[in-house]
Amino acid sequence: MKKNEIYTVDIIDDTNLGYGIAKIDAMVVFIPAVLVGEKVEIAITKVQKKYAYARVLKIIKKSPARIEPSCSVAGRCGGCQLQHLSYAAQLDFKYKHLKALMKDQNVLFPLGAKEPLYYRNKAQFPVQIKNGKVVMGFYRSHSNDIVPCSSCQIQSHEINALYQFFQEHLTVELAEGLRHLFIRYFDKTKEAQIVFIGQQKNAWDSLIKECVRTFPSIKSIVFNTNKRNDNVILGEHYEVLYGKDSIYADCLSNTIELHFKSFFQVNSQQMEVLYKEAIKAAELDASMTVVDMYAGTGTIGLSVAKYVKEVLGVEIVEEAVENAKKNCRLNGITNCTYLCQDASLFAHDLMMQKKAIDVALVDPPRKGMNEQGLQDLMTINPKQIVYVSCNPRTLYRDLQWMEKAGYKCQYIQPVDMFCQTTGVECVAKIEKMR
């Protein structure tokens, strides 16, 4: 087998990343944007010792689940991997791969979205200057090349309108030194935030005035300095150019003040589905004390506060903790306490106080909980853990560790937070067994 050779193959399986699998003699071939059961003509693009990659030249026999992608750059942009798959089939796909990964766990069928398009409340558009022109869009898969696009099918309509504004008005001079354009917008509060991320602040005064005049939703414009030579999006230092450094969102009828550095789920509608599932899994009552680890701006903690005696939240990002405290005051919630503290120190303090914890809510980043974090959780010694995860692989790894420590996962409820992509959010209900 050599690069550029052409074959006709049957797609016999797929991967959790959305690649179809074919076999040519003993060689496994991975092919993007094809579905199980299809017959396709392919061209080999890369050959390794035991496997190869290919691109589709022609679909000879289509799967009944195949649909025409609504996005003009589908297949080139790395943002979506499943737009060629009907939404019902996307949920089947995610369920299949979750079950295959977690063979020994009780995995329920994913909860789908009412609106699987135009759902994202946040976008980070990379900005480059090429051949004397400003290029904006999203990265090609496994590349730093930008795929330009006029709009994005999974971003909210307001974010698309703001993106189009900057496509029209961002000149080479104004884009000099820029790395990303960060945009947030929340439908319920009708508030938007713009963050210029780059090496230097440019002469944006006129641009900002025109933007604010055109979009009444804009409540915050910030410049964030990032001179790092890596893939980290946000730098440490920032300057407010218009309004303030936060905007307001809404979650389960709680008003959330959100700093631009603070984490917030990208799908507001499915976030509420997710948190309702977390509340259901915790089986809360008025006598309980709940710990909210990786608390962020307090969204989960504030959502459960009305059901329990006390919520104790810990978070290492100072701006997020300040937001969480403000959010308590904004919503008249008096039984939540948020600390900016290392989780290990927090856990040690609880142990020294001999404080009984009924439920621990954990919502770690994609890398999951490291060994120290898991040990901290065992130090807190909750009767029950509700684990919210955006990465099934690290969730499964951490569940195995917890089971060795005397806990048992009762079920995993996936929630389709990232429609049109291979990503999925999960809620795991975990109980102490001994």
Q: Where are the domains of the chain?
A: 1-66, 122-251, 267-432
Q: What is the helix (H) or strand (E) element at residue 197, kind and residue range?
A: strand 191-198
Name every residue whose Cβ is closer than 8 Å to that of residue 398 and which is 6 or more positions away in sequence: 368, 369, 374, 387
Neighbouring-strand partners of residue 312: 291, 337
Assign domain 122-251 to a CATH class: mainly beta
Distance CA 16, CA 90 (A): 11
Q: Which residue numbers in the chain have pLDDT < 50?
A: none
Task: Specify the pLDDT at position 352.
Answer: 87
Task: Specify the pLDDT at position 222.
Answer: 98
The position carrying tokens 């689940």 is: 65
CB 314 within 8 A of CB 373: no
Q: What is the fold of 267-432?
A: Rossmann fold (3.40.50)
Same fold, 1-66 and 267-432: no
Q: What is the fold of 1-66?
A: OB fold (Dihydrolipoamide Acetyltransferase, E2P) (2.40.50)
Distance CA 158, CA 118 (A): 9
Q: What is the helix (H) or strand (E) element at residue 222, kind and residue range?
A: strand 218-225
β-strands 19-24, 384-389 pairing: unpaired
The structure's pTM equals 0.92
Catalytic residue among 149, 390, 409, 419: 390
Distance CA 175, CA 135 (A): 9
How far from the centroid of its chain's Cα atoms is residue 227's Cα?
Answer: 25
Task: Specify the pLDDT at position 76.
Answer: 87
Q: Is 211 a catalytic residue?
A: no
